[in-house]
Amino acid sequence: MKILVLGASGLVGSALIDALKPQGYCVKAISKSAIESNTATEYLALDLAQYTAPEDWDELLSGIDVVVNTVGIFAETAQQSFAAQHVAMPTALFAACERSQIRVIQVSALGAHPQAATEYWRSKGMADADLMQRRCDWAIVRPSLIYAPQGRSCRQFLQMASWPLLPDLAGCGEVQPVHLADVVATILALIAAPAPLAQVVDVVGPQRYQLGQWLAALRRSMGLTQAQRLRVPVHVQDAAAAVGQYLSRCLFSPASLQMLRAGNCGDGTAMRALLGREEQAALPARHDTGLAARAQLDWLLPVLRFSLALVWLLTAAVCWWGWPHEQSLALLAQVGIPAPWQWPMFVGAIALDALLGVACLMNWPWWRAQALLVLGYSLIIAMALPEYLLHPFGPVLKNLAVLALLLVVEQCERARGR
C-alpha cells in the first residue's frame, strides 16, 4: 500500500511517518521545507497553496492508495492563509481523490464547523463539509488539544503549568486533551480499516478538565510541587490575548482565547472502537524532571533576557536624561580619557548600551560581547576609580552577578538550540 502524507514536517505528520516506517508501507511525504529522503520515505518540498485545481494533483496521486492530510496552520501569516491552506488546497485534493477513488483521511480539529466561532475552526469545517459530500472513501479525524512535549502549543501549556502561580481563566470551558500517540494510532487504524469508512472520529483523551485542572495535572506529573491558583478575570484575559497575538512564538491570541472559552470536548466511542483499547492520559510520564526543567527554562529565559535588556536600556536612559552630562564627563577625565575624546566616548557608550538592550530583546547571541563589556567596565573602574569598588552599595561588585547571569543565559540558549 502506498500512502501520501501531506504536512510531513508538522507535529502529527512527522509522528505519523515515523509510525508508518516499521509497518512496511511505501510512503511519499510532502512538506513545506526540504527533508532528505530515505529508503522508507520519499520526501518532496512543495508549496501546496499552489495546488488549487484537481488536475494539479494528478501526478502526485499516481499509484497512491491512501492520502492523509495533516496540513494545518493555527494563525495566518503573509505567506499562509486559512483560505489557501485549509480550504482551497484540500478541496482540490478531495476532488482529485474522488476522481481516482483514493481513500482520504483528513486531520481536522475538534470544534471545526463552517459556522464555528473562529476562522481556524470555520476553515477546517468548510473542508470537512466538502469531503463529506464526496463519493470516495473518506474519514475525518478531529483531535482535541494534543499532548506532545515537542508541540508548540503543548510547550506553552507546560510552561504555564510550571509557573509559580497557576492561571485559572474565568469563563473557559472544559478541554479533553489527547496524547499524540493516540492521534497517530487512530490514523493508522483508519488506514488499515476495511472500506468503506465515511466516518468522523473525535480524537479525545480519557478525562475532561477545566484548563486550570489540566495545568495542575501537568504540574504534578512533572514532579513539581503544588502551586496556588490565580483567578484571572475575563478583562485581564482579553488584554493579555490582545498583546499575545503580536509576540513571536506566543499562541495566546483573541482567537485561541475564544476557542478555550467555547470548550473542546467530544465523544471518544468511535476512537476507542478503532483502537480496541482505552485512551492514554494526556500527561507526561510521572516525575519527568527533564521536562519540568525545559518547561521552566522556556519562560525563565525570556524573563532573564528582558531583565538584562532593562539594565542596558535604563542605563542608557539614565546616562542621557537622568544624570548631569558634566559629571559623566568628569568621570571619564578621572579615568584618563583626553578631553577631545570624552564627548564621543560618552555618546558612544550610551549608544552601545542601548544597542545591547535591543540585542537582549531580539535574542541576538551577543552574550559574550556583553560579558566582555561588563568585565572591561568593571576592571577600568576598579583600577581608576577604586572608591566605587569599595562603595557600600557595591555598584561594581554587583557586576559579578551580571557576569554570572550572562554566562547562564548563553549556555541555556545554546542548550535550547540543540
Residue 318 and residue 276 share a domain: no
Residue 178 and residue 311 share a domain: no
Cell match 478525562: residue?
207
pLDDT at 173 over 70: yes
* Amino acid of residue 173: G
For residue 198, the enclosing domain spans 2-287
Mean pLDDT in residue range 195-220: 94
Q: What is the reported pLDDT for 56? A: 95
CA-wise closest residue to 283 among 334, 351, 209, 346: 209
Residue 263 and residue 406 share a domain: no
Residue 306 and residue 278 share a domain: no
pLDDT, tens only, 278-336 = 999 999 987 777 899 889 998 999 999 999 999 999 999 999 999 999 999 999 999 99
Residue 268 and residue 334 share a domain: no
d(CA 167, CA 227): 10
Q: How many domains does the chain have?
A: 2
pLDDT at 417 over 80: no
Q: What is the reported pLDDT for 414? A: 82
Among 236, 258, 287, give the residue marking a domain's end: 287
d(CA 63, CA 331): 78
Q: What is the reported pLDDT for 211? A: 92
Q: What is the reported pLDDT for 357? A: 95
Q: What is the reported pLDDT for 35? A: 82
CB 218 within 8 A of CB 156: no
pTM score: 0.86
Any domain includes 294: no
Residue 278 and residue 304 share a domain: no
Q: What is the reported pLDDT for 418? A: 57
Q: Which three cell numbers stand for residue 292?
A: 519540568
Q: What is the reported pLDDT for 247? A: 80
pLDDT at 33 over 90: no
Any domain includes 293: no
The pLDDT-based confidence of 111 (bands split at 50, 70, 90) is very high
pLDDT, tens only, 159-168 = 999 999 999 9
Among 260, 287, 314, give the residue marking a domain's end: 287
Residue 264 is classified by DSSP as B
**Pairing assessment for the beta strands 174-175 and 209-210 based on DSSP bridges:** antiparallel
d(CA 91, CA 94): 5
Residue 356 and residue 223 share a domain: no
Q: State the chain's mean pLDDT as an integer.
A: 93
pLDDT, tens only, 232-274 = 999 999 999 999 888 877 888 999 999 999 999 999 999 999 9
CB 203 within 8 A of CB 141: yes
Residue 394 and residue 263 share a domain: no
Residue 373 and residue 275 share a domain: no
Any domain includes 292: no
* Amino acid of residue 286: R
d(CA 158, CA 2): 37
d(CA 282, CA 181): 10
Mean pLDDT in residue range 130-157: 95
Residue 61 and residue 30 share a domain: yes
Q: What is the reported pLDDT for 195? A: 83
Least confident window among 8-12, 67-71, 410-414: 410-414
d(CA 204, CA 191): 19
Q: What is the reported pLDDT for 149? A: 92
Q: What is the reported pLDDT for 264? A: 93
Any domain includes 245: yes
Q: What is the reported pLDDT for 400? A: 93
Beta strands in 161-286 (DSSP E): 165-169, 174-175, 178-179, 199-203, 209-210, 228-232
Peptide bond into 395 cis (omega under 30): no
Grouping H, G, I as helix, E, B as strand and the rest as coil, residue 352 is helix
pLDDT at 413 over 90: no
Residue 273 and residue 308 share a domain: no
Among 287, 320, 353, give the residue marking a domain's end: 287
Q: Which three cell numbers stand for residue 325?
A: 552630562
- Percent of the chain clearing pLDDT 90 (strictly above): 80
CATH of the domain at 91: 3.40.50.720
The pLDDT-based confidence of 27 (bands split at 50, 70, 90) is very high
pLDDT at 39 over 80: no
The pLDDT-based confidence of 158 (bands split at 50, 70, 90) is very high
pLDDT, tens only, 355-402 = 999 999 998 989 999 999 999 999 999 999 888 888 888 889 999 999
User: Cβ–Cβ contacts within 10 Å for residue 192, how many?
Assistant: 12
